[in-house]
Chains A and B, each alone.
Chain A
Amino acid sequence: DGGITQSPKYLFRKEGQNVTLSCEQNLNHDAMYWYRQDPGQGLRLIYYSQIVNDFQKGDIAEGYSVSREKKESFPLTVTSAQKNPTAFYLCATLAGGSYNEQFFGPGTRLTVL
């Protein structure tokens, strides 16, 4: 069953703690993305990676970090430097080639108490 897995679906953390959100894919796509979604804001790009061991900052990278050690995995760490971390986080992959279609995971809702 091919797809993108994000876990957990709901995550609660205390203010000041770092937290890592998981994103795993078995679609064999090279590129992976992290978006943040806030009510009424649409989606904003945090980080993306086009290939293993390489990643670039998106529009709102401050307070976040990522790694891309394996093609299948692209974890996102929300650090204590992120001022407003409570949001819905979506991971996506890119089919590439002539399609340019992004595939999205089910998302993780992070609440910082």
Chain B
Amino acid sequence: GDSVTQMEGPVTLSEEAFLTINCTYTATGYPSLFWYVQYPGEGLQLLLKATKADDKGSNKGFEATYRKETTSFHLEKGSVQVSDSAVYFCALNYGGSQGNLIFGKGTKLSVKP
């Protein structure tokens, strides 16, 4: 079945460091891909998305490119801030009437000042 695999956390970085969180997926069709962020004690917020191959999603300095050839959707940010400390989830769905999301296990990011 379809699945999403994220790099294991936690990830600890110093402020202004470069961030990469790897995400790969297995899918039988052509899903949409998402990154969600969860701040402590809160629900999830959509960070960015891409709906087809070679699309780049971007938001708040974060970027991810839908790579069909490597089945990947890695999250990157050039300079992280303490306020970026959160858990990041990669997810996919096929949309349509269901829209059921398949999530990775999440990667916890801690940014130190």
Q: A residues near B, CB below 8 A?
A: 4, 6, 31, 33, 40-45, 48, 50, 58, 90, 92, 94, 96, 98, 100-107
Contact = CB atoms under 8 A, between A and B. Distances in A.
Given A42-B89, A43-B103, A45-B100, A100 B95 contact: yes
Given A90-B43, A101-B49, A106-B43, A41 B100 contact: no
B93 A90 contact: no
Interface string B90-112: 00010111111101111000000
Interface in B45-76: 45-46, 49, 51
Contacts of B49: 100-101
16 contacts: A4-B43, A6-B43, A31-B97, A40-B105, A42-B103, A42-B104, A42-B105, A44-B103, A48-B98, A50-B98, A90-B44, A100-B49, A100-B95, A101-B34, A101-B46, A104-B36
B22 interface: no
A106 B42 contact: yes
A interface secondary structure, majority: strand
Interface in B1-55: 32, 34, 36, 41-46, 49, 51
A102 B106 contact: no
Contacts of A106: 42-43
A100 B43 contact: no
Interface centre among A6, A33, A58, A100 (most CB of B within 10 A): A100
A96 B103 contact: no
Contacts of A98: 95
Contacts of B101: 43, 45, 102
A107 B43 contact: yes
B103 A107 contact: no
